[in-house]
Amino acid sequence: MMSLNRTIRITLLAAAITFAPAMASREAGGIAKGLDPARPDGPGAGAFERPAAYSPGKAAFSVRFQEETSAYRVIGVYVLPGESVGIEVLDAGSRDSYTLQNSAGLLSRESDRRWNWVAPSEHGLYPVVVSNDSSGETITMNIFVMIPYSRLSGECIEGYRIGSYPDKPYKNRSIYETPKGFIEVTRENKDTLVSPHFRLSQFLCKQQSDYPKYLILKERLLIKLELILEEVNRQGHEAGTFSILSGYRTPHYNRAIGNVDYSLHLWGGAADIFIDEDPRDGVMDDLNGDGKFNRLDAAVLYRLIDCKICREDLSGGLGNYGATQSHGAFVHVDVRGTPARWGKLE
């Protein structure tokens, strides 16, 4: 007789295949066949579309990969072709077993809760799903195999202008080293969830260009944004996501807008965010309830982050900005690794 665990595993696999959108053929930069990166009715996806009630989108277990640990039911991961990714389940206090499903790449099981996955040689999106055999709960790792930095031709990749990165990292900090590669964003994969409440397309550089476009994103930034969003909702400001005024910036675009060379935006580690739920008009909501829309509303968000988001591994910049003719008030957050604060709060 088939065990319950095995039944659940097979049901999960069938569900993943059933819910996969049309992915009959896989093209370069496309989505690997077999596992759905963000099921339409899956965890996280619904929360993004005006949730009836906000939910943090966390599983009862965590996965550790590279230098990050995440309990989010969906998380983006960015690797190079052929890169080896160690994946480990952290689930203290339980003896549950886990299964890892991959659509492509080489998978080896090292223990009941540890695997090693080697990325395919072709760039694109390759979802990996870790599931608890008892509860059926899953964490989907949306793993993007990037195009290596060495493929930069002049200042462009496939006609998309990147520009040039500084020759030396700022103060020799590793986060400012030359990026290892770029995520290719296509019309097909742009809506992929990179965490329960954020999609890849939200972080695209604002420079004008057709698809494919390219960007860099740090896993740690998404973990920080999710923690901030959770705290925002806890404090009574209902928000299904943040509006992102500026996520990734190519060095080319960053220079064009006159910004400093060593901005974490160039390394996918910064986001300029605001809450735009009521009304959804493209500018920061009236968070302090004074009937005005200005830096005092950004200050509400700034203080919340400053007071409540204190994990050392997520430390970084926090800046407060008022409204101008071209944009509403916003807050800059980044994961540079050392604390920095700026902007007028009063």
Residues that bind Ca ion (CB under 5 A): 276, 281, 285-286, 288, 290, 292, 297
Closer CB to Ca ion, residue 219 or residue 276?
276
The least distance separating Ca ion from the CB of residue 321, rounded to whole angstroms, comes to 14
Residue 337 or 343 with smaller CB distance to Ca ion: 343
304, two tokens: 């919340």
CB of 6 or CB of 292, closer to Ca ion: 292
> Mapping DSSP to helix (H, G, I), strand (E, B) and coil, where does residue 199 land?
strand
CA nearest 33: which of 16, 11, 10, 46? 16
Q: Say if residue 236 is exposed, middle or buried (CB neighbours under 10 Å; 0-12, 13-18, 19+).
A: exposed
DSSP 195: E
Paired with 88 in beta bridges are: 64, 114
- Please identify, using beta-carbon distances, which residue of 188 and 297 lies nearer to Ca ion: 297
If the CB atoms of residues 144 and 321 are measured against Ca ion, the closer one turns out to be 321
Of 122 and 286, which CB lies nearer to Ca ion in the complex structure?
A: 286
- 280/197 Cα distance (integer angstroms): 17
User: What is the amino acid identity at position 124?
Assistant: G
Query: Which whole-number Å values give the CA distances from 57 to 62, 70, 113, 195, in the listed order?
Result: 12, 11, 22, 9
Q: How far is the CB of 325 from Ca ion (least distance, A)?
A: 17
- Give 223-271 as a DSSP string: HHHHHHHHHHHHTT---SS-EEEE----HHHHHHTT--TT-GGGGT-EE
Opening angle at CA 153, ends 82 and 33, nearest 5: 40
Hey, which residues does 232 pair with through a beta bridge? none
Helices (H), the chain: 4-19, 45-48, 219-234, 251-256, 295-308
- What's the min distance (Å) between Cβ of 13 and Ca ion? 42
Cβ-Cβ contacts under 8 Å for 208 (sequence gap 6 or more): none
Coil/strand/helix, residue 16: helix
Min CB(323)–Ca ion separation in Å: 10
Residue for token digits 């404090």?
235
Q: Considering the complex, what minimum distance in angstroms separates the CB of residue 294 from Ca ion?
A: 6
Closer CB to Ca ion, residue 125 or residue 244?
244
- Supply the minimum distance, in Å, between the C-beta of residue 298 and Ca ion: 9
Residue 272 vs 297, nearer CB to Ca ion? 297
- Minimum CB separation of residue 299 from Ca ion in Å reads 9
Hey, CA dihedral for 259, 265, 270, 276, is it positive or negative?
Answer: positive
- Smallest separation (angstroms) from Ca ion to the CB of 198: 18
Output the smallest distance, CB 191 to Ca ion, in A: 22
